[in-house]
Amino acid sequence: MQKPGVLVILLFFLLLISCEQKETIKEEKESDDIYYSFKHPETGQEYQIVHAYKLYENYENRIREDSSKPNFWQFDEEVIEPIVDACYQDAVFFAGNFDLTVKAPENMEEINEIIKIMDEKKLNKTIQEALLKSSDYISSENKTNICIFPVEEDQITHGMDAWGAGKISVYYNKYYSEEFIKTTIAHEYNHSVWFEKYYKEDEEETVLDRLILEGKAVMFQKLVYPDIEVENLYYNFKKDFWKQIEPDLQTYDLKRASEILNGGDKLPPNYGYSEGYNMVRTYLNKHPDLTPEEWTGLTSQEIFEEGNYIEHYQ
């Protein structure tokens, strides 16, 4: 009389094991996918994380098997072309120019070591948090794409880049911390929204424009993550440094803007980011009721002149 009961229990466990196997297969398939998509739970705003580094194995296999084409060509075919729509298409600074995209790595051994330490679930969680928190301050009508590439140490120039509205590239390396990812995603998200809502293609940028654009992004990342310190912010006003940059502020020289932003040659590291932030901070001290969306849309002249920033150096 007990045999039917034993049979039912046995069938139950077999069914359970089968479900677990299917779930495991499902998880493995999901982990092979380079895309992770989600929405804001309240607004429905869309986001997508593109794990582009998962395509590097295809590239590595390709160059082993076929040496007839240059590496950069094969890299574009195996890595860039599959994700070009999500990561670059319609971005202000792309315009179909593959020379501006991530370059083919020179040291695949180093790249593979970086990929080994990349925790996909942790990256998704960290980036998702930063995007949702940022969107609570300024929303976007565009899908925001975050594309992650591993980068060799000697190739690092920026931690991340916003190529245009909804197009952010992350250049991952072994020095990345969770805090750095969060704050820099917030920083680049501010740029992304600025491109979407306020960028004017027919207006050339001055050095002042570029400094204040970065200053807005630093202010925004500090707003989103007030407890995470931003490195190389200088709250004092050094006239010796100011004298080196003031004559250039109204010039249309993006090379000079980059020099000031990054510092060096008698300027402190990241001096331009700090000075741009102080310009925005000075303005907001006089206009504390503005929302992040409102001050993100202000022109550099409004922030510089109405904030009376020059008084710090008189």
For the chain, give every domain's residue range.
Answer: 33-197, 207-313
pLDDT > 70? residue 30: no
pLDDT value, residue 232: 81
Name the average pLDDT for the chain.
89
The answer on pLDDT for 153 being more than 60 is yes
User: What tokens were used for 109?
Assistant: 């051994």
Span 157-167, average pLDDT: 90
Percentage of residues of the chain with pLDDT beyond 90: 76
- Residue 246 makes CB contacts below 8 A (sequence gap 6+) with 313
Task: Kindly indicate the confidence band of residue 100, based on its pLDDT and cuts at 50, 70 and 90.
Answer: low
Over residues 284-296, the mean pLDDT reads 98
Across 175-184, 190-199, 225-234, least confident range = 225-234
The pLDDT of 128-147, averaged and rounded, is 98
Instruction: With residue 46 as reference, give the H or E element that holds it.
Output: strand 46-50
Mean pLDDT for the stretch of residues 162-175: 95
Residue 90 or 29, more confident: 90
99 pLDDT tier (thresholds 50, 70, 90): low
Q: Is the pLDDT of residue 109 over 90?
A: yes
Whether residue 202 has pLDDT greater than 90: no
Mean pLDDT, range 204-221, rounded to an integer: 98
Q: What is the pLDDT of residue 21?
A: 44
d(CA 93, CA 171): 17
State residue 96's pLDDT score.
Answer: 57
Poorest-pLDDT segment among 29-33, 49-53, 146-150: 29-33
Which of 55-64, 96-105, 195-204 has the lowest average pLDDT?
96-105
Q: What is the pLDDT of residue 264?
A: 84
- Return d(Cα 283, Cα 101) in angstroms, integer: 36
- Residues recorded for the chain: 314
Per-residue pLDDT band for 251 (boundaries 50, 70, 90) equals: very high
Give residue 156's pLDDT: 73
Is the pLDDT assigned to residue 31 strictly greater than 50? no
pTM over 0.85, yes/no: yes
**Coil, helix or strand at residue 165:** coil
Dihedral of the alpha carbons of 245, 251, 257, 260, in degrees to the nearest 10: -10
The H-or-E segment that residue 176 falls in is none
pLDDT computed for residue 18 by the predictor: 44
pLDDT at 231: 84
- Of the candidates 256, 251, 140, 247, which has an alpha carbon nearest to the alpha carbon of residue 188? 140
- pLDDT for residue 303: 98
pLDDT (average), residues 92-108: 78
Tokens of 113: 């070591």
Mean pLDDT of 224-233: 92
pLDDT at 219 over 50: yes
For helices 207-224 and 254-262, the axis angle rounded to 10 degrees is 40
| 27 has pLDDT over 80 | no
Mean pLDDT, residues 256-265 taken together: 93
What's the whole-number mean pLDDT along residues 179-196? 98
The pLDDT value recorded for residue 97 is 61
